Structure 1
Amino acid sequence: MKKIGLLLFSIVFITSVNFAQDSKTKAGHTNQNKFKQLKELLPTPNLQRTASGAPGLKYTQQKVDYTMDIILDDENTRIYGNETITYHNNSDDTLPYLWVQLDQNMRAADSKTPDIQSSSIPNSTSEKRFKKSYIDAAFDGGFKIESVKNLDDTNLSHTVNQTMMRINLETPLSSGEKFQFKIKWWYNINNHRTDGGRSGYEHFAKDGNNNYVIAQFYPRMCVYDNVEGWQNDQFWGRSEFALEFGDFTVNITTPEDHMLGATGILKNEDEVLSKKELKRLEKAKTTFDNPVLIRTQDEAEKIEKSRSKKTKTWKFYAENVRDYAFATSRKFIWDAMAVDINGKTVMAHSLYSKEANPLYGDHSTRAVAQTLKTYSKYTFDYPYHKAISVDGQMGMEYPQICFNPGRPDADGTYSDKIKYRMIKVTIHEVGHNFFPMIVNSDERQWTWMDEGLNSYMEMLAELDYDKDFPITRGYPKNIVKYMAGDQSTIAPIMSKGDHVYEFGNNAYGKPATALWILRETIMGKELFDHAFRTYSQRWMFKHPSPADFFRTMEDASGIDLDWFWRGWFYTTDVTDIGIEGVRKFYATNNTSKEGVDFIEDTSEGLNITKPTSSKSKYFYEITFNKPGGLVMPIIVEYTYDDGSKEKKTYPAQIWRYNDQKVTKAVHSDKQITKIVIDPDLETADVDLSNNSFPNTNKDQFSKFKTKMKN
């Protein structure tokens, strides 16, 4: 004890001297401690958004209602639309103008989107790509706005700015008032399989049909809130959408032989479905174990050979949704099943072509059902009446409907790789019904708030679907390669989606991993699940910001996580914690007086060679270092000479006084034979070569011994 006490006194004395010398120079420094609070980065709480992360007493949000008549022109692959927009100003502000999103203009002939992309001339290219890039005329996309009018059909002043349109109000819109206006438009639908895009059509050359998955198809109001004001950033094609909730009355006219699925309640089932289909649908509403076919493959194959010149109109009403989308084709097979969400029946549907069967028939609707169950368990009961998965051969989400990939080989067989990818994307896109379709974050600004949170929840649903599900994103070990990569091409999570380099890792993988680590390693399941559920329920049908999430997770768990948010979300620091060295001691009775002396054993390895007194145990002083920038818990596994193991976690706060290295004195009744940091790969440690002792690198221990002597 004398020797250790003397060492501690020396450290304190030296520190005091250094402090005195620093104070004489009157030099100061800013607080760079990894545990300093986030208050300087987060917005000041107010009556609209509280310090706890909950909506405040003065929280408001706008409401937008749409009435639309839509015509799908299958012959010319066009959409025609008439819409009436009712804008409710629920804010305390007077608005001199309104902003509308024109997302299809990203595909307009004069779009600036291609102009912001760097490009070069390749050494060689295919003839098809050569024609597309250098010969063929550009696709004539974008909205063709025919008119913008008041309800009395007088022209309404407006200004189009690329993917945005400003409505110039003659009289400013006061708080509590509403404004109604009309837009008439059309556009050419893009082939999303050849030209890309988040919606469009797929053409089947063999039978001459098209599958349509239609979204961003109507001029939509921008969000006006108490964080950004008007969220009217241009749509460049990557970062998605910020939208207001409202009620939709939508009539969609298609060829008579089409099958269609859409957001909302179908109000005229008996007009657009056959008696046979209606009967099967009723059966599906009480069938909870397996999907029921509403339209079979044989029926769909027969119908896809037809070319009806007649039309029919599908009438939908959707209440309190933030967006609208639909899918339609004469090729669609349709199955459905009921899902029990805490006593409420919700319908899970799938629409798919024969090219996607039997993969879709085997798994799509079941994956939809599992997603609704798992997400409801950890957040809130799914509030809508249905969720649809469509064979859209992309991955895109909208309220109550999503477009997903996955098709078997031509002979109908499919590998596990194809199966799991299809299930994974289906769960992910259906999961977006919760984030951001209900917990309505701003995707244009903060992609991680929907993609990252949803990717984390996706993991739980995948494991519920199949306990051996091959999860590819979210486990800490899976993000190591990205985090350890070239720092010049890595951006913090808290970056706008349009500005990050590796979109998938930044917006999906890393935030999902961060939440997994919080749940499994930092907070524990019980505290994390309660806090995450609290956030989800607080911000249902509202517009949360990052600060609302960070604050709620701390408020509902009783854990200060500022250090975690700062490191994982605001920096590109990495986890790298190692064992710099180990000193061994044995205890012996002090002969001069009653007491115990600690004598260092300088032999290599961990076995203590000297005998111990009857009072003593085995004593080790372990020096942990942290080459990486992130502060994280030190998770240590001790292996003893009898073969047993013990796992010990030292909280991240162990680094609060020294960001580079710390020591821990460990005593045990049994002799330690091995020490391993992060044995289960819980922290995304980017360098495992320094995680164990004894280390195969002989130089490490030699350098440590030399350093200690000096």
Structure 2
Amino acid sequence: MTKITKLIVLMLAAIASTNLAFGQNEFYNNNKFKQLDEELPTPNVYRTGSGAPGHEYWQQKADYVIEASIDEKLHRLTGAETVTYFNNSPDVLTYLWIQLDQNMRATDSDTYKIRQNKVGKKTNINQLAAVDGFPDYDGGHKIQKVQDVNGKDLSYTINKTMMRLDLPQPLQPGEQFSFSIDWYYNINDRLLMGGRGGYETFAEDGNTIYTITQWFPRMAVYDDFNGWQHKQFLGNGEFALAFGDYDVKITVPSDHIVASTGELQNPDEILSDEEKKRFEKAKTADKPVVIVSQKEAEKKEKTKESGTKTWHYKATNVRDFAFGSSRKFIWDAMGVDINGKTVMAMSYYPKEANPLYGQYSTEAVAHTLEVYSKHTIDYPYPVAISVEASNGMEYPMICFNYGRPEKDGTYSPRIKYGMISVIIHEVGHNFFPMIINSDERQWTWMDEGLNTFCQYLAEQEWEENYPSRRGPAENIVNYMKGEKNNISPIMTNSESIKQFGNNAYGKPATALNILRETIMGRELFDYAFKEYAQRWAFKHPKPADFYRTMEDASAVDLDWFWRGWFFTTEAVDIAIEDVQYKELDTQNPKVEEKKRKDKRDAQPKDITTIHNEEVNLGRRVDRKPELKDFYNSYDELDADYEDYEAYKKYEKGLNSNDKAWIAAKKYVYQVKFKNVGGLVMPIIIELQYEDGTSDKKYIPAEIWKMDDEVVSKVFVCDKPVAQLVLDPNRETADIDTENNYFPRQTQISRFQLYKSGANQPRTYDSGQLNPMQKAKKNKK
């Protein structure tokens, strides 16, 4: 071999090796069962590979002492707070970051600047006014002073919704630092401007409900994962907050009732003897006890007392604090037994929310605590509150919800079940993220998705056939099959999510329900999910901690599931591509001869033969029999001598089990499945037999390990199959059911005939009577 020849051979070998390596690498990189190791952070002493907190896990703490007052005429909140910040980290801190969330409403807010706008054919004045904020509204935190405990001014810098407090000297590990902030802000008209908190004034009586949220300067989170979490608050990404203890005094008009995070410290100064008596009765009641009645609230609406009162609340180990205040509040309560501990479930609501809230709200609070405690941890706080404020938002021990009937007291099923669902959802947020304290500013799904999943469980325990909006696989199909440019992976930052509700609420909730019902099974899932809640209660979990814990506690490899459902926008669409009936060759000449001839006889005749039979075409050999010979009676499908001899030898080698299996009539089907949507999932196939019975087979998703595009599976049946159906119970969110059948089924599309538009069905009109109103008219 010449040197040139050797060189060429070596080059070709190198190219072949490179191509092989590239092909293998390409398969590895695109393999849907590739482990998530590269996407997840490396385990360390703070967060382990099992998903549990590490032996050196730490988190910061921030305690607050706050005095606040509401000016009802100016709609202004004025406050002064002292914050004690505990540096439990191993790091030296030279500054602290503080969240000023009200600055989202400042006139120069980036929220207004980055908001996309369009002017439609019909645009009202409020919509135009909101393009650059509301010019007549001076929003944002107005910082009056920032001082240390000795009254010395501290240096600080405000960057939009974040404030950096420069420490006079570095804060060492294990040390604490106290400082005070005085501020005020103008409370927003929530119905006009939107927002999680604000005020609502009732035109009929001139009274106001205040829902006070994101109202005080709050410490940002400093942790082992991000350092400071100081992403700007733009509106969607909610809140990352540290745990701490709160001592809060709230001064409001003297006839107001204040619903708040924490426990009331001065009931003797605030409540009447009758109200205290009713509250004590409520602790052991089996149904809600009214503490402030509608009649009493209506009286206060008319008289409007002068002067103020100060309500004093304390809360331990919470990550936030919120309250509601109004003279319009009706108040009811009942005790709930959570594993031997009495928790007060309570509701506050205006008369406009009755009778719905009086009948359902506190019961829904109690139900939520019971169901969520069963699936996560025992509810640890002393109270859980639902406030009707025509919105939906959550805080520790308190949430604000909607649900007002018509003025005649009737309501539609949409309002009833919407109200119950929003109460379950917002009360449920006590668990996610108020206790299992994820970073909402970064990962909305970790609180909204997990909570919506638990909400679905609670709804289904409320009543049979509860009309749950999110959770069932079928309900996410339209979103999953939408245009990919309008869909984001679940693992997307909160401010960049497209279709926020579907992405952060619906899809993760559905994914978890599929994981529970179809992939893991309830026993394994429930144990692992509860383990996650117990591990990370009162701590700061990240996505990897959830993924790893679910696998660690179940021994189920779920990386393929997290990758597909959470990291991509692929959809589930598995098709039955082909079905072949495979018949056993018994090698018995008599049996096989009959099969061959039956198959031939079943074949359709060609058109010439059909026409010849129609005219009774005569043949020469029939007129002259002497023309016939051996081959006129010979059938090539007949078994011959060699076939019989071969069968004798074959039969001698069969044992009794072989003969029994051959004697039993088996029907063998080879089915080819195609992954059209890209998202690998278990194959769930129902074999519907000719006798009307059926059999459902669950094939794990791992069948796609070696080929995630096309796989085949053989089914050996004792009776003939009439129909094959994929995902018969619609449990995988398959976006195309037409290819789930073999033989294919005709898809029915209904239509109506109409003439000149006169017979077209009437569309839904919000002004129509609800079913309760119709029923009343029917009785007349």
Q: Give 2:739's match in structure 1, choosing from 668, 673, 690.
A: 690
Percent of aligned positions that are identical: 56
Contact 1:584 1:601 in 2 (8 A): no
Within-5 A mapping of 1:203-218: 203-218=201-216
Q: CA deviation at 1:137?
A: 2.5
CA deviations on 1:370-408 (whole Å, 9 max, x unpaired) are 000000011110000110000111110000000001100
Cα distance in 1, alignment partners of residues 503 and 125 from structure 2: 35
- Residue 645, structure 1, aligned to residue 675, structure 2: no
Q: CA deviation at 1:626?
A: 1.0
Match of 1:119 in 2: 117
Within-5 A mapping of 1:4-403: 25-26=19-20, 28-29=22-23, 30=25, 31=28, 32-127=30-125, 129-130=127-128, 137-287=135-285, 289-403=286-400
Cα distance in 2, alignment partners of residues 121 and 415 from structure 1: 33
- Between stretches 641-650 and 81-90, larger displacement belongs to 641-650
CA deviations on 1:669-705 (whole Å, 9 max, x unpaired) are 111111000000000001111001111479xxxxxxx
Q: CA deviation at 1:343?
A: 1.3
Cα distance in 1, alignment partners of residues 173 and 127 from structure 2: 53
The count of corresponding residues between Structure 1 and Structure 2 is 672
Cα distance in 2, alignment partners of residues 145 and 665 from structure 1: 72
Q: CA deviation at 1:74?
A: 1.0
Match of 2:530 in 1: 533
Q: What SS does structure 2 have at the residue aligned with 1:39?
A: helix
Cα distance in 1, alignment partners of residues 356 and 540 from structure 2: 37
Q: Give 2:717's match in structure 1, choosing from 668, 671, 675.
A: 668
Contact 2:470 2:506 in 1 (8 A): yes
Cα distance in 1, alignment partners of residues 579 and 227 from structure 2: 57
Which of the two has greater helix per residue?
Answer: 2
Match of 2:586 in 1: 589
- Between stretches 540-549 and 205-214, larger displacement belongs to 205-214
Cα distance in 1, alignment partners of residues 502 and 116 from structure 2: 22
CA deviations on 1:502-548 (whole Å, 9 max, x unpaired) are 00000000000000000000000000000000000000000000000
Contact 1:322 1:437 in 2 (8 A): yes
Q: What SS does structure 2 have at the residue aligned with 1:308?
A: coil
TM-score using structure 2 length: 0.84
Q: CA deviation at 1:589?
A: 2.0
* Structure 2 residue identity aligned to 1:164: M
- Residue 441, structure 1, aligned to residue 438, structure 2: yes
Cα distance in 2, alignment partners of residues 514 and 124 from structure 1: 39
Match of 2:760 in 1: none
* Structure 1 residue identity aligned to 2:85: Y
Contact 1:586 1:601 in 2 (8 A): no
* Structure 1 residue identity aligned to 2:690: D
Match of 2:672 in 1: 623
Q: CA deviation at 1:586?
A: 1.7
TM-score using structure 1 length: 0.92
CA deviations on 1:60-104 (whole Å, 9 max, x unpaired) are 000000000011111211100000000000000000100000000
CA pair 170-613 structure 1, distance change in 2 beyond 3 A: closer
Contact 1:84 1:183 in 2 (8 A): yes
Q: What SS does structure 1 have at the residue aligned with 2:421?
A: helix
Q: CA deviation at 1:467?
A: 2.0
Contact 1:588 1:596 in 2 (8 A): no
Match of 2:753 in 1: none
- Residue 513, structure 1, aligned to residue 562, structure 2: no
Cα distance in 1, alignment partners of residues 514 and 294 from structure 2: 44
Cα distance in 2, alignment partners of residues 85 and 239 from structure 1: 24
CA deviations on 1:428-461 (whole Å, 9 max, x unpaired) are 0000000000000000000000000000000111
Q: What SS does structure 1 have at the residue aligned with 2:555?
A: coil
Contact 2:112 2:132 in 1 (8 A): no
CA pair 129-587 structure 1, distance change in 2 beyond 3 A: closer
Unmatched runs of 5 consecutive residues or more in structure 1:
1-18, 605-611, 699-710
* Structure 2 residue identity aligned to 1:94: V
- Between stretches 571-580 and 594-603, larger displacement belongs to 594-603
- Between stretches 126-135 and 296-305, larger displacement belongs to 126-135
* Structure 1 residue identity aligned to 2:718: D
Q: CA deviation at 1:241?
A: 0.2
Contact 2:113 2:132 in 1 (8 A): no
Q: Give 1:478's match in structure 2, choosing from 475, 479, 485.
A: 475
Cα distance in 1, alignment partners of residues 592 and 720 from structure 2: 23
Contact 1:439 1:544 in 2 (8 A): yes
Q: CA deviation at 1:23?
A: 5.0
Q: Give 1:454's match in structure 2, choosing from 448, 451, 456.
A: 451
Match of 1:568 in 2: 565
Unmatched runs of 5 consecutive residues or more in structure 2:
1-12, 604-660, 748-780
Q: CA deviation at 1:25?
A: 4.7
Cα distance in 2, alignment partners of residues 135 and 91 from structure 1: 40
Cα distance in 1, alignment partners of residues 274 and 535 from structure 2: 43
Match of 2:730 in 1: 681
* Structure 1 residue identity aligned to 2:462: Y
Q: CA deviation at 1:120?
A: 3.3
Match of 1:7 in 2: none
